A and B are shown apart, each in its own frame.
Chain A
Amino acid sequence: MPDGALPVLDVRDLKTVFQTRGGEVHAVNDVSFSLKPGELLGVVGESGSGKSVTMMSLLGLLPSPPADIRSGTVQFDGKDLLNVTPEQLRSVRGGKIGFVFQDPMTSLNPVYQVGFQIMEPLRKHMGMNKRQAAARAQELLELVGIPDAKQRLDDYPHQFSGGMRQRVMIAIALACDPQVLIADEPTTALDVTIQAQILELMKDLRDKLGMAVIWITHDLGVIAGIADRVMVMYGGQVVEHAPVQALFGDPQHPYTRALLKTIPSIQGERAARLTIIEGQPPIMAGAPTSCPFRDRCDVAFDRCAVENPPRYDLGDGHDAACFYNARTGGPRDA
C-alpha cells in the first residue's frame, strides 16, 4: 500500500463510557489510530478489552444510554463522524463503511429473505430501483462465493449454513462499495475450515476492491495471516501498535509478549500445559490513573502504579504504552 497516503479514517482520543447501576465503566480510553486506503488493520485483545466498543463507537452503533461517547474525533470523508447529524451518520453506515458482525447465526433478520436484506442498503444508499438492486445483490452473492446466487436470493437465513450466512453478511457490508470494512470477529463463530475460507475470501476481496479493512479478533494466528498493521488493546487502551512483522518479531509491550506466549505450538512437548496470562482483565471503573496491565505484568515497577504510560514512539510505525523498555531491559526515561 502507498506509504504516506492520507488516512481514510482517522480516530483521535476516542473515549467511551458506559453508565451502569454500579457506576461508570470506562470502556474506551483515549484510543487513537488511523487507517490508510487499502490497508488491513488487525485489532487484538482479550474479551472486554474494548475492541468492539471502539469500532461501534465510530458509527454510533452503541445504544445510548448506557453508552456515552465523551470525547474524541473520527475523521472520515472530510467529516467528524462524532459530530454529524443522525441522517449523515446513517448515510455513512452501510454506505461508505460496512460492518460485519461476529455471530452470523443471529445477525440476519430471520423473517426476511436474504435478497431483500442485501437490497435494503442498495436501495437506500445507491438509490437503486428494485430490479437494479436485485441484479446487484445477485452479483454480490456471486462475489462472496455463494453458488446458485439467483435462486438463493429468495431463501431465508435459516436455509443457509453458518459460513454461508457470514458470506451473506459480508455481501451486505460490501453492497455499496465501502471505503472501509469493519469486521468484528467475523470468523469466531465458525469452524476452522469455514474460517479459512472466509479469511481467503476477505483477502481476495480486499485486493480486488481496494478497500481498507479493520479486522477485530482475539486470534493472533488470523492476524499474522492477513494484517498489515496490528493494534493490541488492553483495558480500553491501545497498548501496542506496529506493522505485523514487527509485532510478532519484536513485541515491546509485556501484554503483547504474554499474548504471543499463549499461542499453542505444534512443536515441542504435547503434554505441556497451555500458557495462560494469570489474572483477569480489569474493569475500568474510572479514567485510568495507572497502567491497567500492571497487576498481571512481570516487569511492573513503582511508576506503573501512579501513572498511566503514554504511547512511546519506537520508530518505524511501532509504538508501545509501557514504562519498561524491552530493548534496553530498564525503565524508560521520563
Chain B
Amino acid sequence: MLNYTIRRLVLSIPTLLFIAFVIFMLLELAPGDPMASMPLTIPPEVREQMREALGLGEPWWVRFPLWLKQFFIVEPQYWIDGAFGTNFADGAQRIISFQSRSPVFDTIAERMPQTLWVVGMSYVVGVAIALPIGIISAYKQYSVFDQAGTFISMIGFSVPPFFSGVLVIVIFSVQLGWLPSIYDTTHEVVDWQTFKFQLQQMIMPVMVLALQTTAQVSRYMRASMLDNLGQDYVRTARAKGMSESVVVMRHVLRNSMIPVVTVIALGIPSIFGGAIITEQVFKVNGLGQLLIIALQGSDIPMVMTITFLLAVLIVMMNLIADILYGVLDPRIRYD
C-alpha cells in the first residue's frame, strides 16, 4: 500500500505540471485585459508601463516557469517563515494579485474560513443526511419513505441554488424575518449569543447547498444498498440468525459503502471551489466569490492559483479515494 501511494504521488507530479500548463495557456489565450478597468484618462504609454510592471511584457515561456517557481518554492518558503520565524524566502517576489496588489495566498487564506464553514458544513450535513436516507430507502424500497426520498432527491437535482437560495431568503428573511439574508463575515463567535447568530446566518446557505449533496449521495447510497441487499451473502447472514440490524448495518453497509466513499471523496474538492452561485446569493465572501471577481477583472495570478489548487485537491482526492477503496475492499490489493 505504501509503495503504491508513493508511486501514485510521484506520478501525480507530471500530471499536475501538465494541468498547470494547460490552465496557464488557456488564461493566456483568453480575451480580457487586466488594464481594462483602469480609467480611460491614463495615457497609452503609461498604460504600457503599468502592464510591464505587472510582468505582462514578458513572453509566456518566461512567465510560466516564474509562476511555477513562485508557487512551488517561494510561497512554501514564506509559509515556513511565517510558521517557524525563519528567513528562507529572503524577500523573494510572491504571487501578487493584479487587482489588489497583495499576495494571492494571503487573500485565499482570508477567504478560506468562510468557505470551509459554509460549504464544508453543507457537505458534512448533506452526507450525514444522505447516508441514512439511502440506507432506509433501499431497505424499505417503494415505501412511502422511499418515494418521499426520491421526490426530495429529484428537487435537489433539478432546482438550482440560485432559485432555492432566493426562495428561502424570501420566505425566512423577508416574510418571516427569522434569519438574516446576508452572511456577515466579520461576525465573531465569542459567547452563546454570537454562536446562535452564527448558526442563524449559516442555516440557509448550508441547507440550500446540502440539498444538492443529499440528492446525489442518497441516490448513490440507495442504489449501492439495493445492489447488495439481493446478494447471496445477505441470505447467508440471515440464515446464520443475525438480526436485521446486523445484516443491514454490518454486512450490507460495509459492502455498499465501497463505491459511495469514492463519490464522497471526489466531491470534496468542490467544497474548496466554493459554491460560486450560492456564495453570491447569500453574500458569503468565500473562495467562489473570490474566483468570480478575479475572473471578471482578468486577475490572472489569482485565477491561475485558485484553479491550480483545485486541481491539486482533485488529484489528491482521487488518490485518497483509491486508497480507501483498498482499505474497504480486501479483494483490492495494490502491491
Shortest distance between the CB of B86 and any CB in chain A (Å): 47
What 1/0 mask marks residues of chain A from 72 to 112 whose CB sits below 8 Å from any chain B CB?
Answer: 00000000000000010011111100110101001111111
B236 touches A90 (CB 8 A): no
A59 to B328, CA, bound (A): 32
| Interface check B237, CB cutoff 8 A | yes
Shortest distance between the CB of B262 and any CB in chain A (Å): 15
B330 touches A109 (CB 8 A): no
* Known A111-B330, A156-B330; contact A106-B232, beta-carbon cutoff 8 A: yes
| Interface check A124, CB cutoff 8 A | yes
A95 touches B241 (CB 8 A): yes
* Known A110-B331, A111-B255; contact A125-B241, beta-carbon cutoff 8 A: yes
A304 to B255, CA, bound (A): 51
A107 to B258, CA, bound (A): 19
A121 touches B255 (CB 8 A): no
A112 to B237, CA, bound (A): 12
| Interface check B69, CB cutoff 8 A | no
B329 touches A111 (CB 8 A): yes
A110 touches B255 (CB 8 A): yes
A121 touches B240 (CB 8 A): yes
B243 touches A61 (CB 8 A): no
A93 touches B237 (CB 8 A): no
| Interface check A152, CB cutoff 8 A | no
Shortest distance between the CB of B70 and any CB in chain A (Å): 46
A131 to B217, CA, bound (A): 39
The residue of chain A having its C-beta at the shortest distance from the C-beta of B244 within the complex is A86
From the candidates B241, B251, B254, name the one contacting A121 in the complex (CB within 8 A).
B241
Shortest distance between the CB of A151 and any CB in chain B (Å): 16
What 1/0 mask marks residues of chain A from 108 to 122 whose CB sits below 8 Å from any chain B CB?
Answer: 111111000000110
| Interface check B196, CB cutoff 8 A | no
Residues of the A chain whose Cβ atoms lie less than 8 Å from the Cβ of B236: 99, 101, 107-109, 169, 172
A90 touches B242 (CB 8 A): yes
Shortest distance between the CB of B323 and any CB in chain A (Å): 16
- B residues 182-232 near A (Cβ < 8 Å) are 231-232
Shortest distance between the CB of B278 and any CB in chain A (Å): 37
| Interface check A158, CB cutoff 8 A | yes
Residues of the A chain whose Cβ atoms lie less than 8 Å from the Cβ of B109: none
What 1/0 mask marks residues of chain B from 126 to 154 whose CB sits below 8 Å from any chain A CB?
Answer: 00000000000000000000000000000
Shortest distance between the CB of A205 and any CB in chain B (Å): 18
A121 to B330, CA, bound (A): 22
Residues of the A chain whose Cβ atoms lie less than 8 Å from the Cβ of B117: none
A109 touches B237 (CB 8 A): yes
* Known A103-B232, A106-B232; contact A111-B240, beta-carbon cutoff 8 A: no
Shortest distance between the CB of B56 and any CB in chain A (Å): 56
Shortest distance between the CB of A114 and any CB in chain B (Å): 11
A59 to B329, CA, bound (A): 31
* Known A156-B331, A158-B331; contact A108-B233, beta-carbon cutoff 8 A: yes
What 1/0 mask marks residues of chain B from 2 to 32 whose CB sits below 8 Å from any chain A CB?
Answer: 0000000000000000000000000000000
A281 to B236, CA, bound (A): 28
Shortest distance between the CB of B195 and any CB in chain A (Å): 41
Shortest distance between the CB of B42 and any CB in chain A (Å): 67
A110 touches B240 (CB 8 A): no
| Interface check B239, CB cutoff 8 A | yes
From the candidates A87, A99, A111, A113, name the one contacting B239 in the complex (CB within 8 A).
A99
From the candidates B232, B242, B246, B330, name the one contacting A107 in the complex (CB within 8 A).
B232
B240 touches A94 (CB 8 A): yes
Shortest distance between the CB of B117 and any CB in chain A (Å): 35
B237 touches A111 (CB 8 A): no
Residues of the A chain whose Cβ atoms lie less than 8 Å from the Cβ of B243: 87, 90
A316 to B226, CA, bound (A): 49
From the candidates A98, A110, A125, A173, name the one contacting B329 in the complex (CB within 8 A).
A110
A61 touches B240 (CB 8 A): no
B232 touches A101 (CB 8 A): yes
* Known A61-B235, A101-B235, A172-B236; contact A110-B330, beta-carbon cutoff 8 A: yes
What 1/0 mask marks residues of chain A from 154 to 177 whose CB sits below 8 Å from any chain B CB?
Answer: 001010000000000100110000
| Interface check B63, CB cutoff 8 A | no
| Interface check B238, CB cutoff 8 A | yes
What 1/0 mask marks residues of chain B from 321 to 335 whose CB sits below 8 Å from any chain A CB?
Answer: 000000011110000
- B residues 276-335 near A (Cβ < 8 Å) are 328-331
From the candidates B238, B241, B254, name the one contacting A111 in the complex (CB within 8 A).
B254
Residues of the B chain whose Cβ atoms lie less than 8 Å from the Cβ of A93: 238-241
A144 to B187, CA, bound (A): 68
A94 touches B331 (CB 8 A): no
A158 touches B330 (CB 8 A): yes
Shortest distance between the CB of B214 and any CB in chain A (Å): 26
A109 touches B242 (CB 8 A): no
B255 touches A120 (CB 8 A): no
Shortest distance between the CB of A293 and any CB in chain B (Å): 30
The residue of chain B having its C-beta at the shortest distance from the C-beta of A102 within the complex is B232
From the candidates A92, A99, A101, A124, name the one contacting B242 in the complex (CB within 8 A).
A124
Most chain A C-beta atoms within 10 Å of own C-beta, residue among B240, B242, B251: B240
A121 to B255, CA, bound (A): 20
Q: Which 8 A-B pairs have the closest CB atoms?
A: A94-B241, A94-B240, A99-B239, A93-B241, A106-B232, A109-B233, A156-B330, A90-B241
Q: Mind listing 15 A-B residue pairs with CB under 8 Å?
A: A61-B239, A87-B243, A93-B239, A94-B241, A101-B232, A101-B239, A106-B233, A107-B233, A107-B236, A109-B237, A112-B254, A124-B241, A124-B242, A125-B241, A172-B236
- Apart from the given pairs A61-B235, A61-B238, A98-B239, 13 other A-B contacts in the complex at a CB distance below 8 Å: A59-B239, A87-B243, A91-B241, A95-B241, A101-B239, A106-B233, A107-B235, A108-B233, A109-B233, A110-B233, A110-B255, A110-B330, A112-B251
Residues of A within 8 A of B (CB): 59, 61, 87, 90-95, 98-99, 101, 103, 106-113, 120-121, 124-125, 156, 158, 169, 172-173
